[in-house]
Amino acid sequence: MSSPSQFRRIAGRSVSAIGLGCMNLSHAYGVPPPEADAQRLLLRALNLGVTLFDTAALYGFGANEELVGRTLATHRQRFFLASKCGMQGVNGTRVIDGRAATIKATCEDSLRRLRTDHIDLYYLHRWDKNVPIEESVGAMADLVREGKIGSIGLSEVSSATLRRAHAVHPVAALQSEYSLWSREPELGPLQTCRELGVAFVAFSPLGRGFLGGTLQEVASLDAKDIRKTMPRFAPEAYASNLRMLSAAREIAHEARCTMAQLALAWLLARGDDIIPIPGTVQIAHLEDDLGAGRVTLDAGQVARLEAAFAREHIVGARYNAASLAEVDSEAYPA
């Protein structure tokens, strides 16, 4: 197999083949790093050639957008900025709200926090199932016409919902979880994206740290770490899931790469319309992740990887029942 391109396209714009998911710097994985460390990581990513930075109103209830704005506003012409609406903090509580007025108000707040006059790609973070997708996307289309956002994205929606949204206004990108151990996008969304010309942005491409091979036990995770709520990270399930990594270690050794690079290289090889956005709080991990673009896997290695991570080997769902009820994306039968 040939080496993947170092660039991908979203909404007619060229972006780095590997972007940066900024969530970890403010949200979901326990105590965030000190701001100075987070700023150094963002600037290091920019200087290493990352041109896609992904944040959201939800992350840190606005704190992540503020961090990105403070750190990168003076470099705004050097990168493609993505953020999200439709799920945010309201009086300290996470709320899903896809009403037109809320989307427009959230965008104004995000522009202020990000210190910019436009967001290149604006996602509906979650489809509010109490509001027709057409209404939410219609509000986002108004924002495009007003020049406040450049293009529209959706997150964690099904092929059917993507088609409904695309009929209202062209959708530039679909963002969903996709990795060796979360392959639900292959149930239809990837094919629909290719049919419609929609880029696919893969969040949690390293399986929330699992595929990096360094998280050997979960008991020490911070009490507020989001993985504590996920069935496949429950201690007994996780101990079983760790067995899948032995084959990956062998293939990584053959390919002369790290485990994280192997997982990202697999995703990059799935198609030049797929853009993984790993997140990290450590510069060493950032540098390691970006090295995945230099890794080439042959067809035999890909087949062995996919066999090792076959669905029947994975113990536990990717989300708990409450979180699964909030997403609209396709899922394997229980």
Query: Which residues are part of the catalytic machinery?
Result: 59
CA 273 to chain centre: 14
3-state secondary structure of 10: strand
Please name the residue ranges forming H helices in the chain. Answer: 35-47, 63-72, 100-114, 133-145, 159-168, 189-196, 235-241, 245-255, 259-269, 283-290, 299-308, 321-326
Residue-level length of the chain: 334
Distances (CA, A) of 83 to 42, 121, 125, 175, 293: 15, 7, 9, 11, 24
Cα distance between residue 130 and residue 109, in whole Å: 23
Phi-psi region of 70 (alpha: psi -120 to 50; beta: other; left: phi over 0): alpha
DSSP class of residue 55 equals: -
Cα-based torsion angle of the residue sequence 88, 90, 96, 97 in order, rounded to the nearest 10 degrees: -100
Full DSSP string of 109-124: HHHHHHT-S-EEEEEE
